[in-house]
Chains A and B, each alone.
Chain A
């Protein structure tokens, strides 16, 4: 006579389903700690972009350099950025535009780092 209870197939199924359910839960925690590095990378990337922009602003206002110095050739890409192994930084300078008799130049600094979206900082410099 057949006894009431679970068959082997049923038991195996339960174990498999329980295992599949637990796996994503444990992955969730692992992911959280890996992702925590993103905040740091984004912060550093933004700082590197701002620091470069400050350098360009200093050059623009420098009595020895000035507006004419802001050309792509003077700001080569840095890959990696000195002392920041995983970060690369590049400067792009758009052609001049004129508005109301004032010439201005759009300068963008982009910093890239693995795992995060590139950070770009842009500003306008005028001939004033």
Chain B
């Protein structure tokens, strides 16, 4: 009676076989794996660029600020201390300014105005102030307030955070000295 309608049992629709389904799942998951790797890489690269950018900005700001401060020295008897990591002086407004780093890797670069401290940059790996005379040779570091032969000041700053390192340099020819 019904056995010549179809070779297939009644009610069974066309569909995917198990094999086909497994293949699709495998292909889709492989594709997802490749794309997710790419996305993770993209996010990681964005994070890296972001940290790098922030650090460069911090170093630039600190460097620029130091150079500007150097130019504000009142006169050639206003430098109280000048060493490789500390520079203390009296500025044109008679304020006592100090820029210093403790020498401990990772410590802050500190700017002090009349005793109030502010952080210029964090994570300092190296700081080196150098002082030069009118004839271009190294000037004597100042240990106590006295007439100085400093004519030009250079600053080298290196910040390090994790795998990020930024080095900057600045120089100031101080007109008031």
Contact = CB atoms under 8 A, between A and B. Distances in A.
A58 B136 CA distance: 9
Contacts of A43: 56, 60, 168
Interface stretch (B6-14, B47-55, B107-115): B47-55
Contacts, number: 76
B170 A29 contact: no
Interface in A43-82: 43-44, 47-48, 50-52, 54-55, 57-59, 61-65
Majority-rule SS of A interface residues = helix
Contact of B132 (A26, A36, A44, A58): A58
Interface string B19-38: 00000000000000010001
A1 to B, nearest CB: 16
Given A51-B154, A51-B169, A54-B152, A65 B134 contact: yes
A43 B167 CA distance: 10
Contact of B34 (A22, A39, A59): A22
Nearest to B174: A58
A65 B136 CA distance: 9
Taking residues whose C-beta sits less than 8 angstroms from the other chain, chain A's interface range is: 20 to 34
B152 A40 contact: no
A16 interface: no
B151 interface: yes
B171 interface: yes
Given A26-B41, A43-B56, A33 B171 contact: no
A124 interface: no
B124 to A, nearest CB: 15
Contacts of B168: 43-44, 47
A84 B132 CA distance: 20
Contacts of A8: none
B169 A47 contact: yes
18 contacts: A22-B34, A25-B38, A26-B38, A32-B45, A33-B48, A40-B166, A47-B63, A51-B154, A51-B171, A54-B152, A54-B173, A55-B171, A55-B173, A57-B173, A61-B173, A65-B135, A84-B167, A84-B169
Given A54-B173, A83-B167, 20 more contacts: A26-B38, A29-B42, A29-B45, A32-B45, A32-B49, A33-B45, A36-B49, A40-B56, A43-B60, A44-B169, A47-B63, A47-B168, A47-B170, A55-B132, A55-B171, A58-B132, A62-B151, A63-B134, A83-B156, A84-B167
Query: What are the 4 tightest A-B residue pairs by CB atom distance, in nearest-first order?
Result: A58-B173, A51-B171, A54-B171, A33-B45
